[in-house]
Amino acid sequence: MREREPVVVTGLGVVSPLGTGVDRLWENLLAGRSGVGPITRFDTRDFEVRIGAEVKDFNPQDWMDRKEVRRRDRFTQFFTAATQMALQDAGLESKELDPARVGLAVGTGIGGMETLYEQILVLLEKGPQRVSPFLVPMMIANMAAGQVAIDFGFTGPNATYVTACASSAHAVGEGMRMIQLGLADVVIAGGSEAAFVPITIAGFTSMKALSTRNDEPEKASRPFDAQRDGFVLGEGAAVLILERLSFAKARGARIRAELAGYGMTADAYHITQPAPRGAGGAAAMRLAMADAGLGPRDIQYINAHATSTPVGDVAETQAIHDVFGDHARELMVSSTKSMTGHLLGAAGALEAAITVLTLEHQVVPPTINYEVPDPECDLDYVPNRARPAQVEAALTNSFGFGGQNACLVFKRWRG
């Protein structure tokens, strides 16, 4: 079997509740700031849950003209901006690229939810003749990837992954596979989500998934803490530019990290609950490390999926114990969802970008709001303060409803 050429990360772009742009995100992560506050995108007075992690500093006209803004759902607007940032960060100009050798791998859990909700209201209030002809091309999940390909003329492999909260982690891993299979030299990999509409909050509230800590929004997302009571909805996008190593070197690219391993599994257990002891997530972690050629003791940090739910955080902790054995006590494990909220289908890509930044800067972001230890969550969660540390290899987990699991392994790039 032919030896695989390494796949490296050369660019990052983010739109997040902690800021638009990598520098603003990283600064706020290290400061332990929360991006959670009152929901402003609709009237929540009749809702049990009135808080979320919204993107606050995004102006779509900074990234596209007014006509395109009107024709793109918010999730596509986010992805468009994140892609432009990532390509610029990578020093890639589209005119330098063979368009047939550039691919897209994009994840989203819900797609154009704002457009769908708005047009259902139009249908009910004004009748079917008033529904926008742009409804379908704005709401379908693959349109973020489709629009970016159109923007730049990229004609390489193009696929969208919808696996709930694992969607964009799957996209990043499948982007790596595109390169390893020789289908592309460069892949724009990531995800986007924008689901702040009443039906989303109502649905998650009905299933008791969301935190109801409305009076203390900054403290609502508290992974691993004994007083956690559910996740906080977030929104945003993240893009990683993946390249074949020889291609990146030939153009003199700055390499941020190596994407070394990818594992995916299914729980085949329950529509929302993890398998006992997080068995499916544990299997994905083992596969990702094997894919990277690493053992448990080669990993120093895990960016956990941990969403601040009572059951999920315990299951992930148990899975880490089962995979890493005695080394689990030596690992640093943090959940940056404590600050960003849960971006659903975009979470995996955002946390992959954060893991790359961790390796690059050699600082581990904290789990904030960790105040009351839970006896069932007994690892080093880097509580409340960022920590300088030597991290040579790190793992990031993403687990989705339906029991779909994805794990990525990144290695520090030393050239």
Q: Is 411 helix (H, G, I), strand (E, B) or coil?
A: strand
d(CA 81, CA 63): 6
Contacts of 246 (CB under 8 A, 6+ apart): 5
Q: Is residue 63 a contact partner of residue 86, using CB atoms and an 8 Å limit?
A: no
Instruction: Exactly one of 170, 305, 321, 407 is catalytic; name it.
Output: 305
Is 305 a catalytic site residue?
yes
d(CA 348, CA 59): 24
Instruction: Exactly one of 170, 321, 342, 377 is catalytic; name it.
Output: 342
E strand or H helix that includes residue 177: helix 167-180
Contacts of 389 (CB under 8 A, 6+ apart): 300, 301, 332, 362, 363, 364
Residue 28 gets which letter from DSSP? Answer: H
Residue at 326: amino acid letter = D
Q: Is residue 349 a contact partner of residue 11, using CB atoms and an 8 Å limit?
A: no
List b or e across 152-164, with b for residues whose CB sees 16 or more CB atoms inside 10 angstroms: bebebbbbbbbbb
Is 270 a catalytic site residue?
no
d(CA 305, CA 300): 16
Q: How far apart are the first and last CA of the chain?
A: 25
Q: Is 231 helix (H, G, I), strand (E, B) or coil?
A: strand
d(CA 334, CA 340): 13
- Give the residue numbers marked as catalytic: 165, 305, 342
